[in-house]
């Protein structure tokens, strides 16, 4: 199929991911996409097939290039305190996690493909959190209870990271730096508490 490209597709996809990370899918019209991306409407249709096609490309790009590296750093962070610091303060984490949150709330319930993608990413998130949590739990004890407790802690850690990102979003632009200081402080306090006990 002929797909004439008068534009940089990768840059357009990245720019679409930024836009979709700020507002709801349904709230963004094709007019806004055409204006924001600076690409002719017919070219957008020809390249991506539909608004959903463009959204899928943007979400897939973000999960691969923003969220996956974040998960990688989380995995290598060493302990819970470092994991929270990485997840909440790394540049690039913000857009990726915002898009992930919006996708989970708005698109996953109505789009099976999105639900599947998020399922995999959240599982990877848990896996990385599990490795980070490992350092804070009694070592050597490989019995089932300890494994179960670790998995629960990892699940809670992922939920905490996403929850703090949600709180930062809720704080909006009224909170000076968009709540970034608040979530850093909350993350640090939680990490301190967890690693002391």
Rounded CA gap, 144 and 150, in Å?
10
Whose Cβ is closer to another protein: residue 14's or residue 51's? 51
By residue count, the chain amounts to 197
Whose Cβ is closer to another protein: residue 41's or residue 192's? 41
Subset of residues 76 to 115 that bind another protein, contact rule: CB under 8 A = 110-113
- H helices of the chain, where? 9-20, 30-37, 41-48, 51-62, 68-75, 80-89, 93-102, 112-134, 144-171, 180-196
Number of residues that bind another protein (CB under 8 A): 19
Among 5, 23, 41, 185, binds another protein (CB under 8 A): 41
> Quick one: which segment of 17-25, 30-38, 132-140, 178-186 binds another protein (CB under 8 A)?
30-38
Locate 14 and state its tokens. Answer: 């990245």
Told to check if 118 binds another protein by CB under 8 A, we report no
Smallest distance from the beta carbon of 145 to another protein, in angstroms? 41
Told to check if 36 binds another protein by CB under 8 A, we report no
> Quick one: which segment of 23-31, 64-72, 73-81, 117-125 binds another protein (CB under 8 A)?
23-31
Instruction: Measure the N-to-C terminal CA separation of the chain; round to a whole number of Å.
Output: 61
Rounded CA gap, 192 and 197, in Å?
9
Query: Is 78 exposed, middle or buried (CB count within 10 Å of its CB: 0-12, 13-18, 19+)?
Result: middle
Interface ranges with another protein (CB under 8 A): 1, 29-31, 34, 41-42, 45-46, 48-53, 110-113
């Amino acid at each position: 199929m002929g797909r004439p490209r008068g534009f940089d597709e990768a840059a357009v996809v990245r720019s679409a991911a930024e836009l979709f990370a700020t507002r709801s899918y349904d709230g963004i019209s094709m007019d806004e996409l055409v204006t924001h991306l600076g690409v002719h409407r017919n070219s957008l249709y020809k390249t991506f097939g539909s608004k959903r096609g463009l959204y899928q490309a943007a979400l897939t790009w973000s999960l691969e290039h923003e969220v996956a590296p974040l998960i990688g750093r989380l995995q290598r962070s060493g302990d819970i305190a470092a994991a929270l610091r990485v997840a909440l303060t790394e540049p690039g984490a913000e857009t990726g996690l915002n898009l992930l949150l919006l996708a989970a709330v708005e698109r996953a319930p109505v789009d099976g493909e999105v639900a599947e993608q998020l399922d995999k990413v959240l599982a990877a998130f848990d896996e990385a959190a599990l490795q980070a949590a490992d350092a804070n739990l009694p070592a050597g004890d490989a019995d089932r209870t300890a494994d179960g407790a670790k998995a629960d802690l990892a699940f809670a850690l992922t939920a905490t990271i996403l929850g703090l990102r949600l709180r930062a979003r809720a704080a909006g632009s009224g909170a000076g730096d968009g709540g970034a200081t608040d979530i850093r402080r909350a993350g640090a306090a939680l990490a301190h508490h967890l690693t002391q006990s």
